[in-house]
Amino acid sequence: MGLGGLALAGAGDVVLAVGGLLFQRSTLASALRLSVPIAFAALGGIFAEKAGVINIGLEGLLIVSAFGGVYATYLTGSVWIGLFGGVLASTLLALLFAIVCIEFRADQIIAGLAIWLIALGLAPFASQIVFGSKNSATVATVPGLRQLVANSGVPFVATAGGDALDALASIPFFGALFDASPMVYLMFVAVAGSWWTLNRTSFGRWVRASGENPRALDTAGINVSRVRYAAVLLSGVLAGLGGAALSLSLGQFVGNGPTMVNGKGFIAIVTYLLGNYNPIGALLSTLLFAGLDALQLTLQGQDVLSIPRPLVRTIPYVSVVVVLALFGRTRLPEAAGDHYESGEE
């Protein structure tokens, strides 16, 4: 066999090895876990931008909610109150962003960057004050579905439900869907609910009109500013769920460097742009990135590719950029980034 044949055989072995890793149950489980904060932030960005407010401060909302979730859990001992605390922290910061952009007509891009920088400095500082370190103490984590069933307090549900989940979780690859965090299921519900809200409700029509033709919405008697406030606050709620789920899946807030969020808010912007502001498309884009991210984490632990690890880490980012460049056909809302006050000509 010539050198060309040997090279092809070697490349084929690598493809088979990588393909095998891609379809492992652990890879899907990791992809689902990694998708949660990105998908929730992407949904929040869709609502804000569909309403005409460009919210590139999603990274900041994720950071502040990640700390808020851990801090509330630390104070109360309840992970569910912790989730609420993360959502509250993110929503308050989103309200500040909305006031600055809608009431005072600040440049939305600059205001979004300011929100990110505020959170990037505030959350680690607050952690330093409360916990004595940029990295928080360890708190309770969101229980898995199997644990919730076992602790249901109903004997039949705890035994029969647990056995059923164990059987389903043993299915190759897709079994990871039945052994996921409740936040993964909430993510799917949020995607379906967001699509329904945007396409089948009056509020969704108002949001879309606010971003496409706010004057027409105003003429119809709907206050454009109120719709935009509601959309931005909703983006804070959704991003808050993502940030709190991220930190409470680990039971700790990590504030070193770019914090544990580490660019997920900016990736969320890419995913909803790639999905063309469609919640389902944003979820598929998120799963693409998260799957590649999970794959590169696995590849780093196994010497399958004979390339440096720093290059392996770039696989999901380079792949998403390539897909966006080749297949991205995003159409921005006509009035995105434009200021409008109800009643103006």
* d(C-alpha 146, C-alpha 165), whole Å: 7
User: What pLDDT, on a 0 to 100 scale, did the predictor assign at position 238?
Assistant: 98
Average of pLDDT values for 93-106? Answer: 96
Calculate the average pLDDT of the chain.
Answer: 87
Range scoring the smallest mean pLDDT among 135-149, 186-200, 229-243: 135-149
Give the pLDDT band of residue 69 (cuts 50, 70, 90). Answer: very high
% pLDDT > 70, the chain: 87
Average of pLDDT values for 105-134? Answer: 96
* Closest C-alpha to 125, from 44, 205, 67: 67
* d(C-alpha 31, C-alpha 267), whole Å: 14
* Closest C-alpha to 137, from 147, 129, 145, 148: 129
User: What pLDDT, on a 0 to 100 scale, did the predictor assign at position 9?
Assistant: 42
How many other C-beta atoms lie within 10 A of the C-beta of residue 251? 17
User: What pLDDT, on a 0 to 100 scale, did the predictor assign at position 10?
Assistant: 44
* d(C-alpha 282, C-alpha 308), whole Å: 31
CA atoms within 13 A on the CB side of 333: 25
